[in-house]
Structure 1
Amino acid sequence: MVRSSLNNRNFVMANSGITRRRMLRSAAAGGLVAAAASGTPGVARAQSARKTFVLVSGAFCGGWIWRRVTDRLEQGGHNVFAPSLTGLADRSHLLSKDVNLDTHIADIVNLIKWESLDNVCLVAWSYAGFVGSGALESIGDRVSSIVWLDAYIPDDGQRVADIALEVVRKGIQVAVDKGEAGVRGSARYPAAVVAERDRAFAESKVTPHPVGTYLQQIKVSGALQRVAKKTYIRLPKFPQPPFDKALADCKSDKSWATFELPDVGHMAMLDAPDRVSELILQAA
């Protein structure tokens, strides 16, 4: 279990020229000032060096879900992109039957190419494990580290529909039977997904997810495994066997760092933005 250093903020910084307001802003960016003061060199370097992050959201969600993490990373001086995938959230007006997994992969590939991003830390949450895995096949040379947050690690030829939860598979079938372009999410999220304090907010933001993205087979050749620095974070409060398998596989592979946050729901970026931000910074 990861223990946050966010409460350790009693510092004496004489003659540093750093105001209390600036110090608090830095602390909000994942508690990394505290870690640096306590002599944790790796975390101190993560705070001092400017990083580039691309945060990819999961099904039914968009860039909005990363806002609390984005704010913390940007306050630390980092360059952050949290795009909504085609057909979702602020791009929900683009929902159509033509949107498939390749579309979402192209969203991320083109963002990285057109923004001329390099040395990227690519963060994928949940369904976005498929998107990130596919994107790495094209832009793996621009990505120096990855963080898979309760995310799928797909095999070649696999579809999301093959391994999704039963409730999602039923939603997919309903959408297909009705000829609808999108799969509708749950009407009410349990605590395993999001804390009560954010439930109404999350439920007001989610949009139908493009059905075609669930039905297309992914084509991967192992680019994900070739990334030098890899981190997997599991949120076991949310029951999902494919994520348990991904964690077990990563634990058995020394090229991966693994963490578990057992008290946090699947929407960890809402439940625990400080801890998520800190882990992402450490992993970059």
Structure 2
Amino acid sequence: MNWHMIVEYLRREAEMATYLLVHGAWHGGWCWVRVSKLLRDAGHDVYTPTLTGLGDRAHLATPETDLECHINDLLGVIEMEELRDLVVCGHSYGGQVITPVLDRQIDKFCAAIWLDAFVPQDGHSLMDGWPPERAQHIREQVATTGDGWKVDPMPPDYFGVMDPDDADWVTRRCVPQPIRTFSQPVYLTGAWQSVPRKMYLLAEHHPNSSFDRFATQLSHEPDWDVRTISSGHDAMIDAPDLLAELLLEFG
């Protein structure tokens, strides 16, 4: 290897980003397959872990699977893969997971994106932010058809997945979510807010009062970049090109 080849190699290494893409409720790492291919084709490293009890790890679900378990999933990936300078993207429920991970390992991250996602408050659970009638409906479903701990998946059209083939794909792969991942409060020191770059990405074709509220509130914060993406809630499925472009730009 001559000097010019070494310089070119080092240049490419310097330009390469490492993405950690975190799925939302009922989904798994599988949902990022289109976006991860685009990012890897552009020369970047991509990790798409599946949280315990979901996706290909559905067999590990128990009544005790909670938010802290999912936080530890990501902390374990970061530790075992020795990751640093990470660009993390949390989708939907994934925002509830990446925020405490950032809070505990802020030195590992250079940028964070909340994709149509929850941005938790210290001491609050995800369910605390739901309208009371929705929380009650979920509790009733869990009690009657979820063995007291499993939340049934939402249908694909709820996620904005309208293509019939994609809808079938999502239906086949989504699995019940342990309710303690929704009901366990998260505790934050505030360190997560010091990540150098923060983006909130709102899906235009998925009206949701919670996500609209987050986007509106954060748009007034000078250190946040708030944008929209022309997609349904599952942007990684119905608009992978647009999402990959935004991730590449922000990363």
Deviation track 1:216-251 (CA, whole Å, cap 9, x = no partner) reads 111012223111111111013212212111111221
Q: Is the 8 A contact 1:51 1:79 kept in 2?
A: yes
- Counterpart check, 1:84 vs 2:45: no
CA distance in 2, matches of 1:46, 1:167: 48
Instruction: Give the 3-state SS of the residue equivalent to 2:74 in structure 1.
Output: helix
Where does residue 161 of structure 2 map in the other structure?
194
1:191 CA drift (Å): 6.6
CA distance in 1, matches of 2:113, 2:157: 25
Where does residue 7 of structure 2 map in the other structure?
none
What is the TM-score of this pair, normalised by structure 1? 0.79
2:76 maps to a residue whose letter is N
1:269 maps to a residue whose letter is M
Alignment of 1:165-244 (within 5 A): 166-167=133-134, 170-176=137-143, 179-186=147-154, 188-190=155-157, 193-197=160-164, 198-244=166-212
CA distance in 2, matches of 1:180, 1:88: 17
1:193 maps to a residue whose letter is G
Where does residue 245 of structure 1 map in the other structure?
213
- Counterpart check, 1:259 vs 2:227: yes
Alignment of 1:53-132 (within 5 A): 53-132=19-98
CA distance in 1, matches of 2:143, 2:109: 36
Q: Is the 8 A contact 2:71 2:98 kept in 1?
A: yes
Instruction: Give the 3-state SS of the residue equivalent to 1:204 in structure 2.
Output: helix
Q: Is the 8 A contact 2:104 2:192 kept in 1?
A: no
User: Between Structure 1 and Structure 2, how many residues are aligned?
Assistant: 238
Indicate how the Cα distance of structure 1 residues 96 and 225 shifts in structure 2: closer, same or farther if over 3 A, else same.
same
Where does residue 115 of structure 2 map in the other structure?
149
CA distance in 2, matches of 1:68, 1:95: 26
CA distance in 2, matches of 1:176, 1:248: 35
Higher-helix-fraction structure: 2
Unaligned segments of structure 1, at least 5 residues: 1-44
1:232 maps to a residue whose letter is Y
Aligned-pair identity in percent equals 32
1:48 CA drift (Å): 7.8
CA distance in 2, matches of 1:129, 1:219: 14
CA distance in 2, matches of 1:68, 1:130: 23
Instruction: Give the 3-state SS of the residue equivalent to 2:191 in structure 1.
Output: coil
Instruction: Give the 3-state SS of the residue equivalent to 1:224 in structure 2.
Output: helix
Unaligned segments of structure 2, at least 5 residues: 1-10
1:126 maps to a residue whose letter is S
Q: Is the 8 A contact 1:55 1:83 kept in 2?
A: yes
CA distance in 1, matches of 2:29, 2:43: 19
CA distance in 1, matches of 2:45, 2:33: 13
Q: Is the 8 A contact 1:137 1:220 kept in 2?
A: yes
CA distance in 1, matches of 2:150, 2:159: 24
Q: Is the 8 A contact 1:133 1:223 kept in 2?
A: no
What is the TM-score of this pair, normalised by structure 2? 0.89
